[in-house]
Amino acid sequence: MTSVDTDTSAADSLDTDSTPAFVYEVLRRRIISGTLTAGSELAQARVAEEFGVSRGPVREAFRLLQREGLIVTAVNLRARVSDLSAEEVDHLYALRVVNEALALRVSIPCFTDEELNHLQELAVEIAGSKPDNFDAWEQLHEQFHNLLVSHCGPSLSASLTLWSDFTERYRRVYVADRSGGWLLGSKEHLLLAQECSDRNADAAVTILARHLGRAGLMLVEKIDAEYKPVLINAAMSQVLHIHDDRIT
């Protein structure tokens, strides 16, 4: 099992009731960030020892992780991190295409000059960053996409954050691919920032839908070339008002 690096000071400050939530949050972060890779084994006894807790909080943390599809339980009180899935990519990126397009369209009229300037600054930083340092790139990337949809309201914003979190471990695969997809994506951030500054919602939504959809399609192809990403294609068709044969 990949070792879980806990924050000792944070762990010391927790009471017994909050321990399951802490174990869950740390393990979830490790899985989403790729520290715990697909197929990594998790044994309740070892996790409990590492966190200095009984197996009860670990069982509850495992239950929550399994409910999110991040782990698969096995025999002998063990679990493993779920494999990367083309079906999950299809589902998550379809949700992101449709809902982030909606959130961006709502947000564009509400952007302040300060927010638009910050979008431009972030886009320039992303374009100049290297994929070798994923964590630094991801921090900029997350700030940019969060700002794009920052005026869509708390309920939709919470859903977008959840779906974006779930796709982080897939983004690591996408960015690590040196075929050039991430380079085009970086350029699209600059175009997005410009269209937002121009208050051109139609153009900005088109760029964003293609940006997200292409990333999803490339990931599906990489994970399972035989899988048909009908949800991503349908989502892009809905947002862009085009037929499937024009999407790619």
Q: What is the pLDDT of residues 206-224, one digit of tens each?
A: 999 999 999 999 999 999 9
pLDDT value, residue 12: 41
- Answer yes or no: are the C-beta atoms of 92 and 232 closer than 8 Å: no
Helices 201-223 and 230-240 sit at what angle, rounded to 10 degrees?
A: 170
Q: What does the alpha-carbon distance between residue 29 and residue 51 come to, in Å, rounded to a whole number?
A: 15
Q: Comparing 127 with 86, which gets the higher pLDDT?
A: 86
Given a cut of 90, whether residue 85 has pLDDT beyond it is yes
Percent of the chain beyond pLDDT 90? 67
Question: pLDDT tens digits for 125-182?
Answer: 998 887 677 888 889 999 999 999 999 999 999 999 999 988 988 888 877 765 656 6
- Answer yes or no: are the C-beta atoms of 57 and 20 closer than 8 Å: yes
Please provide residue 42's backbone torsions phi and psi, each rounded to the nearest 5 degrees: -125, 120
Q: Comparing 15 with 133, which gets the higher pLDDT?
A: 133
- Counted residue by residue, the chain has a size of 248
Helices 19-33 and 44-51 sit at what angle, rounded to 10 degrees?
A: 110
Q: Comparing 14 with 72, which gets the higher pLDDT?
A: 72
Q: Shortest CA distance to 219 belongs to which of 103, 96, 115, 126?
A: 96
Q: For residue 134, what is the enclosing H or E element?
A: helix 134-148
pLDDT interval class at 15 (50, 70, 90): very low
pLDDT value, residue 47: 93
pLDDT value, residue 220: 96
Q: Comparing 186 with 39, which gets the higher pLDDT?
A: 39
> How many CB atoms sit inside 10 A of residue 197's CB?
17
pLDDT value, residue 184: 73
Q: Shortest CA distance to 24 belongs to which of 79, 71, 62?
A: 62
Q: Shortest CA distance to 94 belongs to which of 243, 226, 227, 229?
A: 229
Q: What does the alpha-carbon distance between residue 83 and residue 131 come to, in Å, rounded to a whole number?
A: 23
pLDDT value, residue 4: 46
What pTM did the predictor assign? 0.81
Encoded tokens for 47: 């996790």
pLDDT value, residue 179: 61
Which residue is associated with the tokens 């914003």?
Answer: 157
pLDDT value, residue 8: 37
pLDDT value, residue 181: 61
User: How is residue 108 annotated by DSSP?
Assistant: G
pLDDT interval class at 186 (50, 70, 90): confident
Helices 86-107 and 134-148 sit at what angle, rounded to 10 degrees?
A: 50
Q: What does the alpha-carbon distance between residue 64 and residue 50 come to, in Å, rounded to a whole number?
A: 19
Q: What does the alpha-carbon distance between residue 73 and residue 57 come to, in Å, rounded to a whole number?
A: 16
Question: pLDDT tens digits for 101-114?
Answer: 999 999 999 999 99
pLDDT value, residue 104: 98
CA 13, 15, 21, 26: dihedral to nearest 10 degrees?
Answer: 30
Q: Give me the residues paired with residue 41 across strands.
A: 80
pLDDT value, residue 75: 72
